[in-house]
Structure 1
Amino acid sequence: MKRRLKALTIIFLFLVSLIPIKASADATPPSINAAGCALIDASTGQMLYGKNENTQYEPASTTKVMTALIVLEKCKLNDEVTIQQDVDREDGTRIGLKKGDVLTVHELLLGLLLDSGNDAADALAYHVSGSIDEFAKLMNAKAKELGATNTNFKNPSGLPDPQHLTTPHDLALFLREAVNNQDFIKISTTPSYTLAMRNDPQRTINLYNKNYMINKGSKFYYPNALCGKNGYTITANQTYVASAKKDDHILVASFLYAVDKNQNFEDMKTVFDYGFNNFSWVHIYSKNDKVSEYKINNTLTIPLLSTKDLDYVVPKGDETKESYDIKVEDKDLSKQSFNEGDEILKGKVYVNDKELETVDLAAGASRNYTSLFDVSSLSKNSIIAIYGGCALAALGAATGLGILIKQKFKK
């Protein structure tokens, strides 16, 4: 009897082993040592994970992401900059610039993003705006433009200031913008660089990238890492904003007020893995897809094309549960001309009846509107015919009016 029971047990276990088991990702949100964190999808801006994501903290040198954005927007990389101020007196990390040094904007950005030079930050701010205060105004304006509502910058380097604050969510928005700029990615991922002063080529400065997540020789290396920026002050503690790319999808994560630097690097890997393992991207539209149409009149309808690729992030397993639609703005184009490809309207994209994003819509065909009173586009013969017709009509009206007047006086 025991032998039979044992044999049946073995057969049962063998059969169970043949049943396929569906592996699932760990959907438990990560536990991290940073006080504040935000993980967002770079293409949509959707929040995938947050911890005190709207709480203000000091950003330290992660500030330099915004500094670089402003400089890349306002300057050319080969512009030469002569250091006019005593930036070597700047507090915190310096790369060793001196008054009178001549470098390019590109070289100063390397000093800013690789070695986190506060002197490079100040030199760039003076070059763009003439003062730190004026440059801070540009930073704050750009922050608002990007949707950051809880950020206030006071300087381009991230030096401590009780009014120099951001949130994990806002900080993630800044790097989300930066990863769309190939110059930013190329500069921020340069492993090392040697600066030679153009006014004194014998004087050089060696730069080394402090983003250990992209360094294959570092214990903190992360294969999916794209780019990022670290920071530290006594009051801000460890700060970091980083991006990672996997299967053509980019995630951005920010970490503020982390006590343990080593643990923070491990936490960054954990947070990115959580995002990649637990979320899927549903493709909604591709660039140039026809997404709707606009009726000009009873005889003319213009196709409306998406001007960008549009994806939506969902928890894995929910890919087929999403429905989407687009609502085109109500705007009168009946008296407007436009060419194929011109952005003529905006559309609000909804997923499961919840607004996702507003996208510019381009005309899928050209349209040339001509007013009855606009003769600029008419041929010479057409103009002659119109004027001739008007003259005849005026002559006829005058003749009729004359006859009426004569009849009235006869009476």
Structure 2
Amino acid sequence: MRKIRNITAVCLLTGLVLSGCGRQSQITYESTRMETMAEDMQENSQADSFAKNLCVVTGAEGEADASVTAEAAAVFGVDTKEVIFQKNPFERLYPASITKIMTALIAIRDGNLSDMVTVGPETVITETGASLAHINPGDTLTMEQLLYGLMLPSGNDAGVAIAVHMAGSTEAFAEKMNETAHALGATDTHFVNPHGLSDEDHYTTAYDLYLIFNEALKYPEFQKIIGTVSYQAQYTDGTGQTKTQEWKNSNQYLNGKSKAPDGITVLGGKTGTTRAAGSCLILGSQDESGNDYISVVLKAESRDVLYDNMTKIIGKIVN
């Protein structure tokens, strides 16, 4: 997998953003958002490099494509800074397990991948349909193993284990997630947990996810994990016995269940699904010239629609 080029992840919006509805309330909201981002950047010592390194959404990119039925979708050129397609890029939506990108970013950036982590009782998650790495209280794994359990099978239990190890509680870790999002310019994002199980105060946007994913791609460890098809973890349980699990990537472009358009190579990404969030996906991909792209689909009505929509929008890169 070719390394996706590093990009500093915060953006100065310079034009009025239209999200397709044309309502005055939406225009007022976007104007307020741009003012807030400008204020944030004035406080950041790296503000002079923000705008030149990131895409600026103008509201004119591909909005008329009715075949993209998900609530929000976008394709951003990492190298070209071109917005290939956008639909409702600033609409606040539930991200489901795409949340785990931020969890992984903080763990890789601020943690130690060789740390030994003993899983606590707080990792027991009983919510119906919650995706799990199937780790149990008393198990001891490395931070690196937990990251694979977080990102491949989308283990909510692994997310809690990482959060508690790094911050002492999921609440304290969520504060760190929000601080990081704010520093990246993701001003329409608010997290309350490290895994993305639904909460009305847990939301983000397609554009903010671009900012967060773009930052995470600066780390080779992150790129390696999201591009891994399967991973075998060997660790000890609470009785000291060796336990082995194989975790498989839920990304259908990587596991062979879906095919990317000709001329596009999918490098990795993150899926997410809850009843409230619908089916969601973010991808890093590359064209035949080596240009890199980030694409997002949020709140598709089903998994099949999700991959149909994603294939359509990344196809616009080469068509």
Shorter-chain TM-score range? 0.7 to 0.9
Unaligned stretches of 5+ in structure 2? 1-61
Match of 2:315 in 1: 273
Indicate the SS of the match to 1:187: helix
Kept in 2, the 8 Å contact 1:122–1:132? The answer is yes
Specify the code of the residue in structure 1 equivalent to 2:265: N
Number of aligned positions between the proteins: 250
Which protein is richer in strand relative to its size?
Answer: 1
The TM-score, its normalising length taken from structure 2, stands at: 0.74
SS of corresponding position for 1:115: coil
2:166 counterpart residue number: 128
2:69 aligned with 1:33: yes
- Pick the aligned partner of 1:213 from 253, 263, 271: 253
1:86–1:98 contact (8 Å) kept in structure 2: no
1:51 to 81, 84, 87: 87
Give the distance between the partners of 1:34 and 1:232, measured in 2 at CA. Answer: 13
Shift of 1:169: 0.8
RMSD (Å) for aligned C-alpha atoms? 1.9
Q: Which has the higher contact order (CA 8 A, sep 6+)?
A: 2
Q: Which amino acid aligns with 1:238?
A: S
> Structure 1 CA distance, aligned partners of 2:63 and 2:100?
33
Closer/same/farther in 2, CA of residues 218 and 104 from structure 1, 3 Å limit: same
Match of 1:172 in 2: 210
- When the two structures are superposed, what TM-score results if normalisation uses the length of structure 1? 0.58
Measure the CA separation in 2 of the matches of 1:132 and 1:219: 34
**One-letter amino acid of the structure 1 residue matched with residue 163 of structure 2:** A
Match of 1:224 in 2: 265
Q: CA deviation at 1:29?
A: 5.8
In the alignment, does 2:281 pair up with 1:240? yes
Q: 1:256 aligns with which of 285, 298, 306?
A: 298
The 3-state SS of whatever aligns with 2:121 is coil
Given the alignment of the two structures, is residue 63 of structure 1 paired with residue 99 of structure 2, yes or no? yes
Q: CA deviation at 1:99?
A: 1.2
Structure 1 counterpart SS, 2:308: helix
Residues 342-387 of structure 1 deviation map (CA, whole Å, 9 limit, x = unaligned): xxxxxxxxxxxxxxxxxxxxxxxxxxxxxxxxxxxxxxxxxxxxxx
- Kindly provide the CA deviation profile for residues 92-111 of structure 1, in whole angstroms up to 9, marking residues without a partner as x: 11121111111001100000
- Structure number with bigger Rg: 1
Letter of the 2:315 counterpart? D
Which AA in structure 2 matches 1:255?
A: V
Give, in whole Å, the separation in 2 of the partners of 1:120 and 1:221. 29
Deviations 1:139-187 (A, max 9, x none): 1111111111100000000000001000111112211122222111111
1:151 alignment partner, SS class: coil
- State how 1:349-360 maps to structure 2 within 5 Å: none
Matches within 5 A, 1:9-408: 30=65, 31-43=67-79, 45-91=81-127, 92-199=130-237, 200-215=240-255, 217-221=256-260, 223-246=264-287, 247-277=289-319
1:245 is paired with a residue of what secondary structure?
A: strand
**Of 205-214 and 160-169, the range deviating more from structure 2:** 205-214
The question of whether the paired residues in 2 share the 8 Å contact of 1:37 and 1:52 is answered with: yes
Tell me, yes or no, if the aligned pair for 2:63 and 2:86 is still in contact at 8 Å: no
Instruction: State the distance in 1 between where 2:269 and 2:307 align.
Output: 12
